[in-house]
């Protein structure tokens, strides 16, 4: 069964500092990988996704993520965090095949940005 681990429940960074949110997955092959962001009381917005090809993926709002097969990781990064980035971030994994759609989400990392 596929699974996603986000080891950091809560992260605090200073505005302007760099950010890296960790995501590790368990899956029998290379899955599809996603990062979503959720602001308080809101639905999820897709930041970026990895299906195949270049392992460094660029997303919206200046975010990027790197797929590392050897480490089963898909960490999210941003070089300079803005106060508006404060939100909860979810990593998700989906099967490449399987006959139906089932995306599994991690438990999320809550990002706090301090001035």
Partner 1 sequence: DTGVSQNPRHKITKRGQNVTFRCDPISEHNRLYWYRQTLGQGPEFLTYFQNEAQLEKSRLLSDRFSAERPKGSFSTLEIQRTEQGDSAMYLCASSQNKESQESTDTQYFGPGTRLTVL
- Contacts to partner 1 by CB under 8 A: 4, 31-32, 34, 36, 41-46, 49, 90, 92, 94-108
- 25 sits in the region (left: phi over 0; alpha: psi -120 to 50; else beta) called beta
CB of 112 to partner 1, least distance (A): 15
The token pair that represents 12 in the structure block: 């605090």
CB of 17 to partner 1, least distance (A): 25
CB of 35 to partner 1, least distance (A): 12
Can you say how many angstroms the Cα of residue 35 is from the centroid of all Cα atoms in its chain?
3
Residue whose tokens read 């971030």: 89
Contact partners, residue 11, CB within 8 Å, separation at least 6: 19, 21, 109, 110, 111, 112
85 or 88, CB closer to partner 1?
Answer: 88
CB of 115 to partner 1, least distance (A): 26
18 or 39, CB closer to partner 1?
Answer: 39
70 or 97, CB closer to partner 1?
Answer: 97
**Helix-then-strand count for the chain, H and E:** 0, 12
8 or 105, CB closer to partner 1?
Answer: 105
């Amino acid at each position: 069964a596929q699974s996603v681990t986000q080891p950091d429940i809560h992260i605090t960074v200073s505005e302007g500092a760099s950010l890296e949110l960790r995501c590790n997955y368990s899956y029998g092959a290379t899955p599809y990988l996603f990062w979503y962001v959720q602001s308080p009381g809101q639905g999820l917005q897709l930041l970026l996704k990895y299906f195949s090809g270049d392992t460094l993926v660029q997303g919206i709002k200046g975010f990027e993520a790197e797929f590392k097969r050897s480490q089963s990781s898909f960490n999210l990064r941003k070089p300079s965090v803005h106060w508006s980035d404060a939100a909860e971030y979810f990593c998700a994994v989906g099967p490449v095949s399987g006959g139906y759609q089932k995306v599994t989400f991690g438990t999320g990392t809550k990002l706090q940005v301090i001035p």
